[in-house]
Amino acid sequence: MASSSQDEAISRLTTILRRMGAASALHSQAVARRAGLASVDLECLDMILLAGPVTAGQIMEHTKLTSGAVTGLIDRLARKGYVERAADPQDRRKVIVRIVPEAIRPLQELFAPMAERSAALMQQYSAEELELIAGFVEKGTAIALERASELEGG
């Protein structure tokens, strides 16, 4: 059974995490505007960057966008030069979408001040504390993705 102080700590942390999520979304929107991208395009570009080269089907799976929406997304990102299409070496019928590293450098520069400030903040914690925080964030991310999937019907 949770104690009163634990309930208060959970309530405080829940509020802080909600604020952090909102602040992160606002930061991403500001970067997207500066880059001339829609927020969803920037988020999908980041997903491609994190996942490595992906197929359109994998983008659909991760984003729950329709086939037509994913085609439009890839077209927009390719027109801006951020991604390129290439034939899948294992299955020539599939198309791989990959990042164009030199094209995303300006985006990375927009994120650099935030990354530097975050790194300075993390330096204030021990390796053990960072592992605890990382574990919490990783589990929280899994919960959020699981719930998003439930809301999307699958």
pLDDT at 154: 63
**pLDDT over 80 (residue 2):** no
CB count in 10 Å sphere of residue 139? 10
Provide the edge-to-edge strand list for the sheet that holds 95-99.
54-55, 95-99, 83-87
Residues 96-118 have pLDDT tens digits of 999 999 999 999 999 999 999 99
pTM of the model: 0.83
| Helices assigned H by DSSP within 36-126 | 39-51, 56-63, 67-79, 101-122
Locate 15 and state its tokens.
């509020």
Grouping H, G, I as helix, E, B as strand and the rest as coil, residue 153 is: coil
